[in-house]
Structures are given as C-alpha cells and as structure tokens.
Structure 1
Amino acid sequence: MVITYYAYPKCTTCRNGKKWLDENGADYREINIAEAPPSKEELRKIYKASGIELKKFFNTSGIKYRELGLKEKLPEMGEDEQLELLAGDGMLIKRPLAWDGEKTTLGFKEDVYENTWK
C-alpha cells in the first residue's frame, strides 16, 4: 500500500524520514503539509484508524501552537474543533505524518519506521 507522507520540506525531521523511506524502498507520495494539509475528514479517518490520541497530532514545539496558546485551550476543545484547527493550518500538525490507509506514524523515529514501514 502507498504511504501518504505529509512533510514540510525545510523540516530536518521530515527530511530524515524521507531519507529512511528512500533507503528502504518504501512506496510513498510526498505532500507539502504547509501547502496542502489533510482535510478535516481525512484527518478524522487517520486519527480514528491510528489509535493515537488527537492531542498527539499537534506540533507542540511549533510557533503557531504557542502563538495560539493551544496548551491551555486544547483540553477545553471538542474533537471537531481540534480537527478543524489542524486542517486549517498544516504547520499545527506534528510532522512528518505518514499514513497508508491503515497504519499511521507521527514524527520520525527510526525504530518506529522499522516496525511500521519495513
């Protein structure tokens, strides 16, 4: 199955993940997360299938996250509102986000990629 790889070209972590995918012959298509973030419904599908907490989809070290004061606001927000935020600005999404219709990874850790995408 083809991996959809949402990444930001200037992100070192994203480049490391892409390098791993290339070196391991993974079949993927890369999408610039800043220019074309996943839609709210696509995010909902990814989130539901992943088993990962929704708050983990947020890039907590990002400037936008801090500017919006999301650390304090997220616990009060509903799922729809959080998904709307993520879909509205790809820079709020933890990256890289890799998804093949069944499995999902957030960020890049070599051991996680080994276990998930090899």
Structure 2
Amino acid sequence: MTTVTAYIYPKCSTCRDAMRSLEAKGVRPEKIDLFETPPSKEQLRSFWELSGLPLKKFLNTSGEVYKEMNLKDRIPRMSEDDILELLASNGRLIKRPIVVDGKRITVGFKEEQYKEIWS
C-alpha cells in the first residue's frame, strides 16, 4: 500500500474538510503540520515537478504572511529557487493542504479533484 502524506494545518477548516474527504475514500494519510514542519526546499521542488502546476500555485496568496511580506509585488521578480527557499522557510506561505503519495499530488482542496485523484 502506498503511503499518502498530507501537509496540513490542523486548525484550518479547508484542511479538515480535505481530511474528511480522503477518509471517506478510504485514504488514511500521514498528517504533517505544515507550520511546525514545512517541507524542505528539495521536497517542495519534487512536489512542484510532480504537480505540473505553475510554482505560484503553491503560494498561500490569501494568507496574512503573504500579504505582510508584500509578496504579490515581489514574487514576479524572484527566481524559482528563491521562491522555493521562501516557501520552505515558512509553512504559512504554502497553499494547503498538500497531499502526495510520490506519484500523485493535490495542492489545495477541491472535492471534484479529490474524487478524481484519491478515489
């Protein structure tokens, strides 16, 4: 059986909804608190490559830290490497939840996407 890892923030209602959705599909992920143990730059790079998404999709653009750091204006001028470094430095900057099993990945939570990928 493949290990599924979910990077979540336990107090986040979206993360709780996503975990309920996974459990309803019979998926029991290993949960990692994104704020206490953010993924490393290398892990984030592998998630990004696996996802096929633009790197900016990994940013929690609605979060306080993103806004406080004025990242909306800074990100377009940053290298991919610098963005990955920034994400790894503060789990609050990462869009959540990230659910990954090494072959599949979802960033954020949309029930339709979870049905398609995790059922």
- Does the TM-score normalized on the shorter chain lie above 0.5? yes
Q: In the alignment, what sits opposite 1:72?
A: 73
**Residue ranges of structure 1 left out of the alignment (5+ in a row):** none
Matches within 5 A, 1:22-41: 22-41=23-42
The superposition leaves residues 24-65 of structure 1 with CA deviations (integer Å, 9 ceiling, x where unpaired) of: 111310000000010000000110111010001000000000
Amino acid across the alignment from 1:99: V
TM-score (norm 2): 0.96
User: Separation in 1 of the partners of 2:103 and 2:61?
Assistant: 25
- Kept in 2: contact 1:50–1:102 (CA 8 A): no
TM-score (norm 1): 0.97
The offset of 1:103, in angstroms, is: 1.3
User: Separation in 2 of the partners of 1:19 and 1:27?
Assistant: 10
Q: In the alignment, what sits opposite 2:85?
A: 84
Q: In the alignment, what sits opposite 1:101?
A: 102
Number of residue equivalences: 118
The offset of 1:105, in angstroms, is: 0.7
Amino acid across the alignment from 1:107: G
Amino acid across the alignment from 1:7: I
User: Separation in 2 of the partners of 1:71 and 1:78?
Assistant: 14
**Residue ranges of structure 2 left out of the alignment (5+ in a row):** none
**Does residue 7 of structure 2 align to residue 6 of structure 1?**
yes
User: Separation in 2 of the partners of 1:84 and 1:29?
Assistant: 24
Local SS of the residue matching 1:112: helix
